[in-house]
C-alpha cells in the first residue's frame, strides 16, 4: 500500500544500543537524518565483548551533528541494570523522554557446545538477553506513561533456525523473541509496538563468517526495515522480520491443527506414533498472536467432539 506521508521522526527520541558501528550505526544515522533525536549508546569494546572506549559512540554522534542532526552519546554497558537505566536516563535528561528503542548491542563467543565454558555462556546471555531487559524495562515504563512506543529486538537466524557453535548466542537470540512477544501483548493498549529483526549483514562481527556472501550483504540494506518498525506508520507488533542483501521477509512461529485424540483420551505411545504424519503436517497452520489463539484451536476440537 503506498504511503500518503513520508516516514519522519520529528519530535521522537530514539535509543540505539551498540550504535557505535555496524548495523546500529546505520540505524542511528538514518533515524537522525529523518528527524529523530538519537542516543547513540556503545561500550566500544571488541566483538568478544572485551575492552571499552568512548570513541565509537562519539564518532557517530559527531557524524549526526555535522549533518545537522541531534544526538547524544552514552557509553554504558547494556549488560547491567544500572547501565540499562543510565542509557534511558540519558534520553530523558538530554531529550525529555524515549519513544523508540532498538536493542542492537551484541557480542560473540562462539564455540561448540561440548567445549563452551560457562563464562562464555554467561557473557553472551548478559549482553543480548539480560541487556535487552535492562534497557527495555525503564524505556517501557516511560513509553507506557506516554502512551506511545516502538521497540525493536535484534534476533538472529542463528537463534531462529540454529547454527553450529552458537549455543550461547542462539539461546539468547531466541529468548529475545519471547521477550518481544510478551511486550507486544503488554504494550498493546499503550500504543507500544514490539517487533524483532533478524538481520544479515557484513560487519566486523560477521565478515569472517559469511564467506562469499559477505560482499553481497551491506548493513545499509537492513536499515529501512528497522527504521520502518521504529516509525509511527508501523502498526505491526509481535512479528519477526528478516532483512539482508536486499531480501525482506517475515519469520513466524506457527502451529498446525495436529491430531486430536479425543476429549479425555490418553493415547498409548504406539497409537500416538501412528499419527505422527498428522501431528507434523504443517500444510495448514495458524500464527498465534497470544496463548489464547492456540487454546482456541483445542477449544474448537473439544466443541466439535462434543457434538
* Euclidean distance between CA atoms 156 and 153, whole angstroms: 10
The least distance separating ligand NAD from the CB of residue 52, rounded to whole angstroms, comes to: 8
* Euclidean distance between CA atoms 140 and 150, whole angstroms: 9
Q: Does 170 bind ligand NAD (CB under 6 A)?
A: no
Residue 214 DSSP SS3? helix
Catalytic residue at 190? no
Subset of residues 201 to 220 that bind ligand NAD, contact rule: CB under 6 A = 201, 203-206
Candidate list 14, 36, 40, 49; residue touching ligand NAD; CB under 6 A: 49
Candidate list 79, 136, 166, 180; residue touching ligand NAD; CB under 6 A: 79
The least distance separating ligand NAD from the CB of residue 64, rounded to whole angstroms, comes to: 15
The least distance separating ligand NAD from the CB of residue 172, rounded to whole angstroms, comes to: 9
Q: Which residues contact 213 (CB under 8 A, 6 or more apart)?
A: 200, 245
Catalytic residue among 27, 134, 148, 169: 169
Candidate list 183, 200, 227, 240; residue touching ligand NAD; CB under 6 A: 200
Q: Which residues contact 12 (CB under 8 A, 6 or more apart)?
A: 35, 36, 37, 99, 100, 232
* Cα angle 50-131-232, degrees, rounded to a multiple of 5: 125
The least distance separating ligand NAD from the CB of residue 244, rounded to whole angstroms, comes to: 7
Residue 236 DSSP SS3? coil
Task: Output 104 or 181, the one with its CB closest to ligand NAD.
Answer: 104
Piece in contact with ligand NAD (CB under 6 A), picked from 30-38, 75-83, 89-97, 234-242: 75-83
Closest CA to 136 of 94, 91, 203: 91
Task: Output 36 or 201, the one with its CB closest to ligand NAD.
Answer: 201
* Euclidean distance between CA atoms 31 and 27, whole angstroms: 6
With CB under 6 A, what is the number of residues at the site for ligand NAD? Answer: 33
Helix, strand, coil percentages (3-state) for the chain, rounded to 5, are: 45, 15, 40
For 29, what's the count of Cα atoms within 13 Å in the CB-facing half-sphere?
Answer: 19
Residue 266 DSSP SS3? coil
Task: Output 91 or 288, the one with its CB closest to ligand NAD.
Answer: 91
Q: Does 168 bind ligand NAD (CB under 6 A)?
A: no
Comparing every residue's Cβ against ligand NAD, the nearest one is: 22
How many CB atoms are closer than 10 A to CB 222? 27
* Euclidean distance between CA atoms 252 and 300, whole angstroms: 23
Candidate list 154, 194, 195, 223; residue touching ligand NAD; CB under 6 A: 154
Piece in contact with ligand NAD (CB under 6 A), picked from 38-46, 179-187, 258-266, 281-289: 38-46
* Euclidean distance between CA atoms 160 and 292, whole angstroms: 23
Residue with cell 557446545: 113
The least distance separating ligand NAD from the CB of residue 74, rounded to whole angstroms, comes to: 9
Candidate list 127, 184, 227, 229; residue touching ligand NAD; CB under 6 A: 127
Give the active site residues: 169
Contacts with ligand NAD by CB under 6 A lie at: 17-18, 20-24, 41-45, 47, 49, 56, 77-79, 104-107, 127, 131, 154, 156, 199-201, 203-206
Amino acid at each position: 500500500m503506498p504511503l500518503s506521508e513520508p516516514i519522519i521522526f520529528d519530535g521522537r527520541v530514539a535509543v540505539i544500543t551498540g550504535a557505535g558501528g555496524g548495523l546500529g550505526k546505520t540505524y542511528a544515522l538514518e533515524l537522525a537524518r529523518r528527524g529523530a533525536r538519537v542516543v547513540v549508546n556503545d561500550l566500544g569494546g571488541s566483538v568478544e565483548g572485551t575492552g571499552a572506549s568512548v570513541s565509537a559512540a562519539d564518532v557517530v554522534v559527531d557524524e549526526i551533528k555535522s549533518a545537522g542532526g541531534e544526538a547524544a552519546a552514552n557509553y554504558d554497558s547494556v549488560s547491567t541494570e544500572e547501565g540499562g537505566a543510565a542509557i534511558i536516563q540519558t534520553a530523558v535528561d538530554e531529550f525529555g523522554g524515549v519513544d523508540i528503542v532498538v536493542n542492537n548491542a551484541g557480542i560473540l563467543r562462539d564455540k561448540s557446545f561440548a567445549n563452551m565454558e560457562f563464562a562464555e555462556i554467561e557473557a553472551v546471555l548478559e549482553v543480548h538477553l539480560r541487556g535487552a531487559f535492562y534497557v527495555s524495562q525503564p524505556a517501557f515504563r516511560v513509553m507506557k506513561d506516554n502512551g506511545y512506543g516502538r521497540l525493536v529486538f535484534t534476533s538472529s537466524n542463528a537463534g531462529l533456525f540454529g547454527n553450529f557453535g552458537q549455543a550461547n548466542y542462539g539461546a539468547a537470540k531466541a529468548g529475545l523473541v519471547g521477550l518481544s512477544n510478551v511486550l507486544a501483548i503488554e504494550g498493546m493498549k499503550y500504543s507500544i509496538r514490539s517487533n524483532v529483526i533478524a538481520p544479515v549483514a557484513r560487519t566486523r562481527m560477521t565478515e569472517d563468517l559469511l564467506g562469499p556472501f559477505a560482499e553481497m550483504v551491506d548493513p545499509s540494506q537492513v536499515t529501512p526495515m528497522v527504521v520502518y518498525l521504529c516509525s509511527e506508520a508501523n502498526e505491526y507488533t509481535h512479528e519477526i522480520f528478516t532483512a539482508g542483501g536486499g531480501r525482506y521477509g517475515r519469520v513466524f512461529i506457527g502451529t498446525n491443527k495436529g491430531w486430536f485424540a479425543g476429549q479425555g483420551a490418553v493415547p498409548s505411545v504406539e497409537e500416538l506414533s501412528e499419527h505422527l504424519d498428522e501431528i507434523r503436517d504443517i500444510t495448514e497452520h495458524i500464527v498465534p498472536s497470544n496463548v489464547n489463539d492456540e487454546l482456541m484451536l483445542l477449544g474448537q476440537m473439544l466443541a466439535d467432539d462434543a457434538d
